[in-house]
Amino acid sequence: MRSVGRTPTRLHFFMYLLYLDDSGSAGNPTESYFVLGGFSTSEFSLHWINTQLDKLAEDLYPHDPRSVEFHASAIFSGNVAPWSSLTKDDRRKAIKDVLGILAKAWNTVAFACAVHKLSFPNDDPVELAFEDLCSRFDMQLGRHYQAGERHRGLIILDKTSYETSLQQLALTFRDAGTKWRNLRNISEIPLFVDSRPSRTIQLADHVAYAVFRMYERDDLTYFKIIQDQFDTHDGTVHGLAHKTHDRPGCTCPACMSRRLTKPPAGY
Ligand SMILES: [Zn+2]
């Protein structure tokens, strides 16, 4: 987004990456919510994040750390190896430890959109959440531009069954913009990667899971670890969105933040 009324005097150009994964099933009628979530970070923080996650895998399974895939719902349930060999408390601690890395990462903020599916019976919750997060990521980069730092954004998603629809959607967004603003800082269509070797996508999975547990199960255990990490500007939590028709009565951090501050148009 171009700055209004202010010309940046110096520009630093480097990549910002938004890693996203989903939690909850868009088509599962037994679940109320679908969540798309993850984090944005600069290219310079990726090595540190990956190293920290590798160290955590080594602590858990020193004999074969590369076999460890941090997938939050699998860790939580403990039904599959290697998580089935851990106690319930140790598995809960593993999820918290993964999220703790996000909380300590430099230049890294969380993003998530929770869609209450019954509030939007005629919409695809995946598309709703993706459109919302594209706009929020673009807004973050637009603020950087106004501060004199020009970053290009790239969205990276887990390879899922949504690959085709999300790719097409991203092309449409790039050409036409979202409902709220043109996406001027996001340079490419999303990159889809396999989550198994990607520690960063595994971290995004944990953010989505923590947010899903809060909205779907009223369980703040994991969200509390990252609640202060969501993209925030002038007191408004822009990085967390709760899409529901019951927002006026909701006391979640996203809805409370918007009631306590004056949101920009469209939020
Ligand atoms: Zn809410």
Q: How far is the CA of 142 from the centre of ligand 1 (A)?
A: 25
Q: How far is the CA of 52 from the centre of ligand 1 (A)?
A: 32
Q: What is the pLDDT of residue 18?
A: 95
The pLDDT confidence band at residue 248, using thresholds 50, 70 and 90, is confident
* Residue written as token pair 């790239």: 154
Q: What is the pLDDT of residue 48?
A: 95
Is residue 112 pLDDT above 90, yes or no? yes
Summarize the confidence of residues 96-125 as an average pLDDT: 94
Q: How far is the CA of 147 from the centre of ligand 1 (A)?
A: 30
Q: How far is the CA of 47 from the centre of ligand 1 (A)?
A: 34
Lowest-confidence segment of 2-16, 62-76, 99-113 by average pLDDT: 2-16
Within-domain flag for 132: yes
Q: What is the pLDDT of residue 1?
A: 40
* Residue written as token pair 């150009």: 13
Measured distance CA(102)–CA(46) in Å, rounded: 11
Q: What is the pLDDT of residue 6?
A: 45
Measure Cα distances from 73 to 24, 78, 113, 239 in Å: 10, 8, 18, 22
pLDDT digits (tens, 9 = 90+) for 64-74: 898 899 999 99
150 or 6, which is more confident: 150
pLDDT digits (tens, 9 = 90+) for 51-61: 999 999 999 99
Q: How far is the CA of 253 from the centre of ligand 1 (A)?
A: 7
Within-domain flag for 221: yes
Q: How far is the CA of 56 from the centre of ligand 1 (A)?
A: 33
Q: What is the pLDDT of residue 179?
A: 58
Q: How far is the CA of 247 from the centre of ligand 1 (A)?
A: 5
Within-domain flag for 5: no
The pLDDT confidence band at residue 267, using thresholds 50, 70 and 90, is very low
Q: How far is the CA of 20 from the centre of ligand 1 (A)?
A: 20
Q: How far is the CA of 230 from the centre of ligand 1 (A)?
A: 15
Q: What is the pLDDT of residue 226?
A: 97
Within-domain flag for 266: no
Q: How far is the CA of 63 from the centre of ligand 1 (A)?
A: 43
Q: How far is the CA of 246 from the centre of ligand 1 (A)?
A: 8
Q: How far is the CA of 252 from the centre of ligand 1 (A)?
A: 4
pLDDT digits (tens, 9 = 90+) for 131-183: 899 889 999 998 887 777 777 888 898 877 566 677 777 777 666 665 555 67
Within-domain flag for 1: no
CATH number at residue 105: 3.30.420
Is residue 196 pLDDT above 60, yes or no? yes
Is residue 34 pLDDT above 80, yes or no? yes
Within-domain flag for 157: yes
Q: How far is the CA of 132 from the centre of ligand 1 (A)?
A: 15
Beta-carbon contacts of 215 under 8 Å, excluding residues fewer than 6 positions away, are 32, 33, 35, 114, 116, 242, 252
Query: Is the four-CA dihedral 137, 141, 147, 151 of positive or negative sign?
Result: positive
CA-atom Rg of the chain in angstroms: 18
Q: How far is the CA of 238 from the centre of ligand 1 (A)?
A: 13
Summarize the confidence of residues 14-39 as an average pLDDT: 91
Q: How many domains does the chain have?
A: 1
Within-domain flag for 121: yes
For the record, the structure tokens of 4 come out as 């209004």
The boundaries of the domain holding residue 188 are 14-260
What is the rounded average pLDDT for all residues in the chain? 85
